[in-house]
C-alpha cells in the first residue's frame, strides 16, 4: 500500500478503508455504474468490452523479449493522467511506461462506437538498451480446447477459449486466418509483412451450443483488431502458443515486431487503433468459420499407415450464391509429408463450402508441418476464400495408433 500516495490529491484519505490499494483503474458508463467499459490492471495490461459487455482477451502497452531463452520483461504503467472528457462517450488517458530496458509515453483516446470500444493509441518509446524482440501492440488471450485442438479435452464443455484464431490483413491485401491451438510444447511463428493493414485475435465462433458455458459465456468474448496508423515498414506479426492445462492461464500472445532494431537513446513512435468488437473486420472473400481435425483414412477400409485429416469450412463472400455448375477446387501447400484424399464440396448446412484433405507425415519425424489452403474456381482460377494457414505437429511413432476396428 505504500506504493499508493494520495497526499497530493483531493481525496479524503480518512474515508478510505485501511489497507486499500489499487493496481489500476476501471472505466464505467456515466449513466450505468454496473457497466464496465475498460480496465487497466497490472503491469501494462488493459482490456475492454464490446457490445456484449463481456471482458475477454487483454492488450498490453509493450512486450519485451517474449518467448525467448531468457525471462520475459514486463514493462509497467507506473503513472496515469486523465483528461476531463469533452463529451460523455470519450475519455483521454495518458500513461507512463517503465522497465529496465525501455521507457515510454502513451496516449489513449477511448470512446464507444455502436457498443464497441475504440482506442486510438499513440506510443513514444525510448529504449535504454538494445531489445532483441520488441513486441508492439501485444495481444494476450487464452485457448485451451477447440474443434481443431483437443489435446486436453477432458472438461465437459466442448470448447474453452477467449479467441479462436489470428487474423491478418497483409500490406499486399491478402487476408489470412490462422486457427489457434493448445500445443504439446511452446510454438513460435512469425509472419513477415510490410506495412500490415491490420491483425487481431478474434473470437469468430459465436454459437453458445459450441461452448455450453453459462457462467462466463465464451461466445460473447470480444475480438480485438489492431489497425496501424502511419508507416510501420517491414517486420512480422509474431504468434506465441504456450501449452496450458487450465483456462485461467493466458497462453496466447500476438504482436508486431519491427525489422529495424530499436536503438538506445532514440525515439521510436507507433500509432494504432484498437477495436474491441463482436464485429471484427471481414474479408470480401469467404472466411474460415471452422477447422476440425482427426484421424485420416477411408471409412470402412483398413488403415495401412497413419494420416491426419483436416476439414475446413468457409462461409460468405463469393461462395454465397455460387452457381451450382461452378467447380471449386482446393489449393493446398505443405512443408513436408504428402497430402491425399483432397476435396472441396458445398456444405449446405451453413450455405458454405468444406475443404477436406489428409496429411501423411514422414516416418520417425515430429517436425511441425506447415499447411496453407484456399479455394478457387477451376474455370478461371479466381480465389474464393481467404487463406487458411496451420501448423500441425505429428505425434511420435509410438503414438500413431491406426484405431482399426476389429471387424475389418
Which CATH number is 176's domain given?
A: 2.70.98.10
Note whether residue 404 is domain-resident.
Answer: no
Q: From 277, 312, 333, give the residue that closes a domain.
A: 277
- Whether 377 contacts 326, CB under 8 Å: yes
pLDDT digit string, tens, across residues 114-162: 889 999 999 999 999 999 999 999 999 999 999 999 999 999 999 999 9
| Of the listed ranges 24-38, 180-194, 289-303, 330-344, the one predicted with least confidence | 24-38
pLDDT digit string, tens, across residues 263-284: 999 999 999 999 999 988 889 9
The separation between the first and the last C-alpha atoms of the chain, rounded to the nearest angstrom, is 70
- Same domain, yes or no: 378 and 239: no
- Same domain, yes or no: 215 and 334: no
Q: Which three cell numbers stand for residue 194?
A: 510490410
Q: From 207, 242, 277, give the residue that closes a domain.
A: 277
pLDDT at residue 1 in the model:
65
Note whether residue 145 is domain-resident.
Answer: yes
Total domain count for the chain?
2
- Same domain, yes or no: 262 and 386: no
pLDDT at residue 157 in the model:
96
- Same domain, yes or no: 295 and 175: no
Note whether residue 405 is domain-resident.
Answer: no
- Same domain, yes or no: 167 and 269: yes
Torsion of CA 228, 194, 138, 49, to 10 degrees: 40
The parent domain of residue 340 ranges over: 287-399
Note whether residue 320 is domain-resident.
Answer: yes
Note whether residue 380 is domain-resident.
Answer: yes
Mean pLDDT of 206-229: 96
Please say if the pLDDT value at position 6 is more than 90.
Answer: no
- Same domain, yes or no: 226 and 294: no
- Same domain, yes or no: 337 and 260: no
- Same domain, yes or no: 101 and 193: yes
C-alpha to C-alpha distance for 52 and 40, rounded to whole angstroms = 19
pLDDT at residue 20 in the model:
67
User: In Å, how far from its chain's centre is CA 169?
Assistant: 13
- Same domain, yes or no: 253 and 364: no
Residues in CB range of 291: below 8 A, 6 or more apart: 147, 148, 179, 310, 311, 312, 313, 388, 390
Which CATH number is 319's domain given?
A: 2.60.40.10
- Same domain, yes or no: 256 and 307: no
Please say if the pLDDT value at position 245 is more than 70.
Answer: yes
C-alpha to C-alpha distance for 226 and 57, rounded to whole angstroms = 13
Q: Which three cell numbers stand for residue 304?
A: 495401412
Note whether residue 49 is domain-resident.
Answer: yes
Please say if the pLDDT value at position 66 is more than 70.
Answer: yes
Note whether residue 6 is domain-resident.
Answer: no
pLDDT at residue 348 in the model:
93
Q: Mean pLDDT, the chain, as a whole number?
A: 94
Note whether residue 7 is domain-resident.
Answer: no
pTM above 0.75, yes or no: yes
Q: From 277, 312, 344, give the residue that closes a domain.
A: 277
C-alpha to C-alpha distance for 205 and 207, rounded to whole angstroms = 6
- Same domain, yes or no: 301 and 265: no
Q: How far is CA 245 from CA 150, 160, 182, 250, 394, in A?
A: 11, 11, 9, 11, 20
- Same domain, yes or no: 308 and 258: no
- Whether 102 contacts 126, CB under 8 Å: yes
- Percent above pLDDT 70 for the chain: 98
Amino acid at each position: 500500500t505504500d506504493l499508493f500516495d494520495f497526499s497530493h490529491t483531493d481525496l479524503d484519505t480518512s474515508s478510505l478503508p485501511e489497507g486499500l490499494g489499487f493496481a489500476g483503474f476501471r472505466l464505467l458508463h456515466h449513466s450505468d455504474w454496473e457497466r464496465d467499459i475498460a480496465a487497466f490492471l497490472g503491469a501494462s495490461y488493459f482490456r475492454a468490452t464490446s457490445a456484449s459487455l463481456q471482458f475477454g482477451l487483454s492488450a498490453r502497452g509493450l512486450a519485451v523479449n517474449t518467448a525467448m531463452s531468457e525471462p520475459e520483461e514486463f514493462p509497467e504503467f507506473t503513472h496515469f493522467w486523465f483528461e476531463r472528457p469533452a463529451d460523455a462517450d470519450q475519455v483521454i488517458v495518458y500513461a507512463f511506461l517503465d522497465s529496465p530496458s525501455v521507457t515510454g509515453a502513451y496516449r489513449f483516446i477511448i470512446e464507444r462506437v455502436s457498443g464497441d470500444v475504440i482506442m486510438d493509441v499513440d506510443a513514444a518509446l525510448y529504449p535504454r538498451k538494445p531489445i532483441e524482440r520488441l513486441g508492439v501492440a501485444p495481444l494476450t488471450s487464452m485457448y485451451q480446447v477447440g474443434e481443431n485442438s483437443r489435446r486436453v479435452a477432458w472438461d465437459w464443455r466442448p470448447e474453452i477459449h477467449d479467441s479462436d484464431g489470428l487474423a491478418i490483413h497483409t500490406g499486399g491485401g491478402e487476408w489470412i486466418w490462422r486457427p489457434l491451438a493448445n500445443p504439446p510444447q511452446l510454438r513460435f511463428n512469425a509472419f513477415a509483412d510490410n506495412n500490415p493493414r491490420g491483425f487481431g485475435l478474434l473470437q469468430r465462433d459465436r454459437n453458445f451450443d459450441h461452448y455450453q458455458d453459462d457462467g462466463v459465456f465464451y461466445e460473447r468474448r470480444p475480438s480485438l483488431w489492431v489497425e496501424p496508423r502511419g508507416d510501420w515498414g517491414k517486420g512480422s506479426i509474431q504468434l506465441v502458443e504456450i501449452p496450458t492445462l487450465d483456462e485461467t492461464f493466458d497462453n496466447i500472445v500476438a504482436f508486431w515486431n519491427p525489422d529495424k532494431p530499436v536503438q538506445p537513446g532514440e525515439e521510436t513512435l507507433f500509432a494504432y487503433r484498437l477495436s474491441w468488437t463482436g464485429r471484427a473486420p471481414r474479408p470480401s472473400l469467404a472466411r474460415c468459420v471452422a477447422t476440425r481435425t482427426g484421424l485420416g483414412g477411408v471409412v470402412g477400409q483398413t488403415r495401412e499407415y497413419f494420416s491426419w485429416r483436416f476439414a475446413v469450412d468457409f462461409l460468405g463472400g463469393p461462395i454465397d450464391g455460387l452457381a451450382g455448375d461452378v467447380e471449386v477446387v482446393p489449393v493446398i501447400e505443405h512443408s513436408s509429408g504428402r497430402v491425399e484424399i483432397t476435396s472441396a464440396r458445398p456444405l449446405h448446412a451453413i450455405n458454405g463450402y468444406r475443404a477436406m484433405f489428409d496429411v501423411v507425415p514422414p516416418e520417425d519425424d515430429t517436425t511441425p508441418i506447415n499447411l496453407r489452403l484456399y479455394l478457387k474456381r477451376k474455370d478461371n482460377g479466381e480465389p474464393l476464400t481467404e487463406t487458411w494457414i496451420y501448423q500441425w505437429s505429428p505425434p511420435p511413432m509410438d503414438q500413431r495408433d491406426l484405431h482399426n476396428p476389429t471387424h475389418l
